[in-house]
Amino acid sequence: MSAPLRIAVAGLGVVGAETVRLISTQGEMLARRCGRPVVVQAVSARDKTRDRGISLQGIEWFDDPVAMARNTDVDVVCELIGGSEGIARDVCGTALDSGKHVVTANKALIAMHGANLGQVADTAGLALAYEAAVAGGIPIVKALREGLAANQVNRLQGILNGTCNYILTAMRETGRDFGEILAEAQAHGYAEADPSFDIDGVDAAHKLAILTSLTFGCEIDFGTVHIEGIRHIDSIDIRFASELGYRIKLLGIAEMTDAGIQQRVHPAMVPLDAPIASVEGVFNGIVADGDFVGTTMFEGRGAGAGPTASAVVADIVDIARDRKTPTFGVPADELNVARVAAMADRDGLYYVRVMVRDKPGVFADIAGALRDSQISIESAIQRGRAEDGVVPVILTTHETKEARMQDALRLIGALDSVAETPRMIRIETV
Amino acid sequence: MSAPLRIAVAGLGVVGAETVRLISTQGEMLARRCGRPVVVQAVSARDKTRDRGISLQGIEWFDDPVAMARNTDVDVVCELIGGSEGIARDVCGTALDSGKHVVTANKALIAMHGANLGQVADTAGLALAYEAAVAGGIPIVKALREGLAANQVNRLQGILNGTCNYILTAMRETGRDFGEILAEAQAHGYAEADPSFDIDGVDAAHKLAILTSLTFGCEIDFGTVHIEGIRHIDSIDIRFASELGYRIKLLGIAEMTDAGIQQRVHPAMVPLDAPIASVEGVFNGIVADGDFVGTTMFEGRGAGAGPTASAVVADIVDIARDRKTPTFGVPADELNVARVAAMADRDGLYYVRVMVRDKPGVFADIAGALRDSQISIESAIQRGRAEDGVVPVILTTHETKEARMQDALRLIGALDSVAETPRMIRIETV
């Protein structure tokens, strides 16, 4: 058996501590699968005295993770601190500069600086591994980079944020409102105290930008991801979605279109019988359509200590076995610069909810706005009477361009009889 | 860029021809992902004159695939002939003996002789790659061997045969009988002229035996797989399954129990909201429960030229990149010999359909047989009157042992008022 693979772990939050625990409890099995022992030789965190439920005996302690990345004699540095700037970035950069492989769970860092760090890693023949950064325990990076390597994947869509999926699932199951469910999720630890990163779609967008690069062999381009979150989803929308045969999911979509690559994160209605509709609660799911393999789906827990540690250690096993792959599937200097398709070019179906003052002619006004934007109505529902006289009108459209839909929403929003900003949810049928 | 990776393809049926076509049409992309070109340098098949829709210009032709495996100067031999014995086995053995990597889609060969061939490959430092042998285009071998390598997977269940899943799905959707749907599947090419390999569960069992080895790090042991097919599933069972909140699927299950490893292929009822229940039609799906990652699911097309070629070429890309993994995840000489749990030890729920002559006391007789076998009834349905006086009694049980259920089925089958052999379907709730 070969020499042990020596690991340094930077950051001992829930993921860091679980990674140390996993390597210890699965030691014998890992040694068989790696062909060599894996040992945690150094760790770094802020507070040495805190009880994390793991033994750090015999493991070198560093207060400064960057000093650890530079000075300690290990093969791999695991960066489990988080954040796209500052210490996390310094740890990864320093480790690579010192000839050490890097394994990270840091989606923000890879989305913002993966191109540069990947270039450094590829040039030095080192791993910059980030399976844990996307969809937690689901081995989707490996699937796209290796398992589906024979395919051009032309479209990928994923439920990439477990907090949002938990909220949307709970809203449907209980009929309750967004705010209530969010508060409950925070109480259960499924949502952060400041939830905006999750519920406004930024976290999903970080992951999507990484998947887009892997899928299309292009440089990561986080800046051009169209991002909308789930704050505006009302329990009315959830109810009407069910009635129309859909579920509402926060999707990340990367698609090759005639106009270029489109990257977008937004709530979407998906048909009830689509595989991704059955991905519920805190689970993540990714559907990739390859030109030879057809449709594939990968599902699992997208966050949490166990699933994330599972992905971190899978990357470590690859390094132990010397299984090498360029950071984004092809060498960094061969990555294309993506031609970006504008969001205005999206072709598809739309759901629109307009809250109207219930008086004669309002429906004709809305229909006129859609006609003037050259949009055909596929179905319309107006139901119920409210005490305040405000009732929802629900419309679905035939296929149209996003730009026309935005025009229509402006026209509808300006109508006298319309009481609130009209809400639109895109329908994704493929 | 390095020297080309040279491929020989043995067998030019639909999969072989599609593999040649894929390597040609995706050439540029593959070269980027492999860091070197991939070229088909030699092929072998029975009939040189047949039009397969691909150009064989510049490719060396062999009538004898074993001679090709021995004599041609290539890096990889793809065995796409099929069958566990004879030529296919000789091609793989000869290729390995001649220092060539082997890629195969042959589940029967790996299930029967994978242990020996894997030993040869591991000792010689060669690849014996078989992603295409299990679940077609789904990269499940890679997922288990690498992506989930940090986990002990304690239970795996899969829909591993697309023909059976197509038939069961169509029976449910149309309400029609097994025989009719099978005939239709044969007409559409979803089922073979001799369908027994698929519908009697042998094909699924081959795949399961391979997955069991990967999951538990034990030698493949096809002989101890408990195998039942779907011939006895009646449209009545499909209807009652829906009514009880289940779907019927042909499952392959590998499970670590207190008594050892249990491998079984049989029809099973799964809850409607279980992820695997939504795997429909010709699709395959595998659920793996890891101790750190939790539940993961992998879904895609389990057969067909495109998906199978996708998996074959994924293995080729691994070889091109020199990504090495022991054949069954750990070196062949470190594989355990599995302790086998008897089928009689299964603990679980059961569905039983008894066709009875409708007269007073019959229900009491059946209930008595279950009582005498120490089985508790969870629900019972007797409904409808038939002209011939034969009606179904449907029972579901609380958790019990398989051995007790087999006792009960014998007792019930021997009752005077019972018109046909009672049918039992296991209920899998996890």
CATH number among 3.90.1300.10, 3.30.360.10, 3.40.190.10, 3.90.650.10, domain B152-301+337-343: 3.30.360.10
Give the closest-approach CA distance of A39 to chain B in angstroms: 14
As given in the structure block, the two tokens for residue A150 are 């024979």
CATH superfamily for A140-301+334-342 is Dihydrodipicolinate Reductase; domain 2 (3.30.360.10)
Give the closest-approach CA distance of B266 to chain A in angstroms: 24
Cα–Cα distance between A341 and B21 in angstroms, integer?
31
Average pLDDT (A216-241) is 96
| No. of helices (H) and no. of strands (E), chain B | 14, 17
Count chain A–chain B contacts defined by CB atoms under 8 A. 191
**Residue A39 DSSP SS3:** strand
Closest CA to A195 of A167, A218, A233, A170: A167
Residues 6+ apart with CB under 8 A from B413: B421, B422
Say which DSSP state B147 is in. I
Give the closest-approach CA distance of A398 to chain B in angstroms: 28
Give the closest-approach CA distance of A25 to chain B in angstroms: 10
CB contact under 8 A, A310 and B298: no
Burial of A318 (0-12, 13-18, 19+ CB in 10 A): buried
Cβ proximity of B100 and B77 under 8 Å: yes
Closest CA to B326 of B174, B149, B185, B178: B149
Which region, left, alpha or beta, applies to residue A364 given φ > 0 means left and ψ of -120 to 50 means alpha? Answer: alpha
For residue B326, the chain A residues in CB contact (below 8 A) are 35
CB contact under 8 A, A142 and B142: yes
Cα–Cα distance between B162 and B144 in angstroms, integer?
21
Query: Which positions of A are catalytic?
Result: 207
Cα–Cα distance between A142 and A121 in angstroms, integer?
17
Cα–Cα distance between A211 and A254 in angstroms, integer?
8
Strands (E), A337-385: 347-357, 377-382
**Long-range contacts of range A369-372, CB-CB < 8 Å, 24 or more positions apart?**
A369/A408, A369/A411, A369/A412, A369/A415, A370/A395, A370/A397, A370/A408, A370/A412, A372/A408, A372/A411
CB contact under 8 A, B150 and A32: no
Sheet-wide strand order for A76-79:
A60-62, A38-44, A5-10, A76-79, A101-104, A128-129
Cα–Cα distance between B259 and A117 in angstroms, integer?
50
Cβ proximity of B211 and B156 under 8 Å: yes
Cβ proximity of A256 and A233 under 8 Å: no
Sign (positive/negative) of CA torsion A112, A252, A151, A138?
A: positive
Which region, left, alpha or beta, applies to residue A291 given φ > 0 means left and ψ of -120 to 50 means alpha? Answer: alpha
Say what the pLDDT of residue B1 is: 58
Work out the number of other CB atoms within 10 angstroms of the CB of residue B382.
Answer: 15
H/E element, B305: helix B305-320
Cα–Cα distance between A119 and B291 in angstroms, integer?
35
Say what the pLDDT of residue B360 is: 81
Cβ proximity of A204 and A249 under 8 Å: no
pLDDT at A2 over 70: yes
Residues 6+ apart with CB under 8 A from A116: none
DSSP string for B355-373: EEE--TTHHHHHHHHHHHT
H/E element, B313: helix B305-320
Chain B, nearest residue to A292 by Cα: B306
CB contact under 8 A, A299 and B294: no
Distances (CA, A) of A114 to A108, A228, A319, A337, A423: 9, 23, 19, 14, 35
ipTM greater than 0.90: yes
Chain A interface mutation, best of B310, B322, B330, highest count of A Cβ atoms under 10 Å: B310
Instruction: Render the burial of B73-89: b for 16+ CB within 10 Å, e for the rest.
Output: ebbbbbbbbbebeebbb
Say which DSSP state B219 is in. -
CB contact under 8 A, A298 and B297: yes
- DSSP β-bridge partners for residue A400: A348
Chain A, nearest residue to B21 by Cα: A292
Query: Which positions of B are catalytic?
Result: 207
- CATH number for the region B5-104 comes to 3.40.50.720
Residue from the list A29, A150, A273 with its beta carbon closest to the beta carbon of B310: A150
As given in the structure block, the two tokens for residue A160 are 């990439």
Cβ proximity of B149 and B130 under 8 Å: no
**Residue A387 DSSP SS3:** coil
Sign (positive/negative) of CA torsion B218, B222, B226, B231?
A: positive
Give the closest-approach CA distance of B16 to chain A in angstroms: 14
Closest CA to A204 of A180, A182, A230: A230
Cβ proximity of A27 and A37 under 8 Å: yes
In chain B, what are the domain boundaries? Answer: 5-104, 152-301+337-343, 346-427
Chain B, nearest residue to A308 by Cα: B293
Residue from the list B300, B312, B325 with its beta carbon closest to the beta carbon of A295: B300
DSSP string for A268-314: EEEETTSGGGG--TTEEEEEEEETTTEEEEEEEE-SSHHHHHHHHHH
Residue from the list A29, A324, A334 with its beta carbon closest to the beta carbon of B321: A324
Cβ proximity of A44 and A11 under 8 Å: yes
Give the closest-approach CA distance of A108 to chain B in angstroms: 22
For residue A312, the chain B residues in CB contact (below 8 A) are 150
Cα–Cα distance between B409 and B370 in angstroms, integer?
8
Say what the pLDDT of residue B189 is: 82
Say what the pLDDT of residue A1 is: 58
Site of tokens 């229909």: A367
Cα–Cα distance between B221 and B213 in angstroms, integer?
8
- Please give the span between the terminal C-alpha atoms of chain A, in angstroms, as a whole number: 49
Chain A, nearest residue to B143 by Cα: A139
Give the pLDDT band (50/70/90) at residue A192. Answer: confident
Q: Phi, psi at residue B126, to the nearest 5°?
A: -110, 160
Architecture of domain B346-427: 2-Layer Sandwich (3.30)
- Supply angle C-alpha A160, A162, A167, rounded to 5: 125
Say what the pLDDT of residue B158 is: 98
Chain B interface mutation, best of A22, A292, A317, A328, highest count of B Cβ atoms under 10 Å: A292
Cβ proximity of B204 and B284 under 8 Å: no
CB contact under 8 A, B143 and A139: yes
- Supply angle C-alpha A208, A211, A216, rounded to 5: 120
Chain A interface mutation, best of B15, B33, B284, B312, highest count of A Cβ atoms under 10 Å: B33
Chain A interface mutation, best of B122, B278, B293, highest count of A Cβ atoms under 10 Å: B293
For residue A297, the chain B residues in CB contact (below 8 A) are 297-300
Cα–Cα distance between A224 and A205 in angstroms, integer?
10
Cα–Cα distance between B94 and B89 in angstroms, integer?
8
Cα–Cα distance between A365 and A370 in angstroms, integer?
9
Block means of pLDDT (10 residues each) for chain B, 430 residues, are: 92 97 97 96 94 93 97 96 94 98 97 95 97 96 98 97 96 96 90 92 98 95 97 95 97 95 98 93 97 98 95 98 95 88 94 90 92 95 78 95 97 94 94
Task: List, for residues A254-301, the tens digit of each pLDDT value.
Answer: 999 999 999 999 999 999 989 999 999 999 999 999 999 999 999 999
Give the β-pairing of A76-79 and A5-10.
parallel
Task: List, for residues A4-49, the tens digit of each pLDDT value.
Answer: 999 999 999 999 999 999 999 999 999 999 999 999 999 999 999 9
Residue from the list A22, A142, A293 with its beta carbon closest to the beta carbon of B300: A293
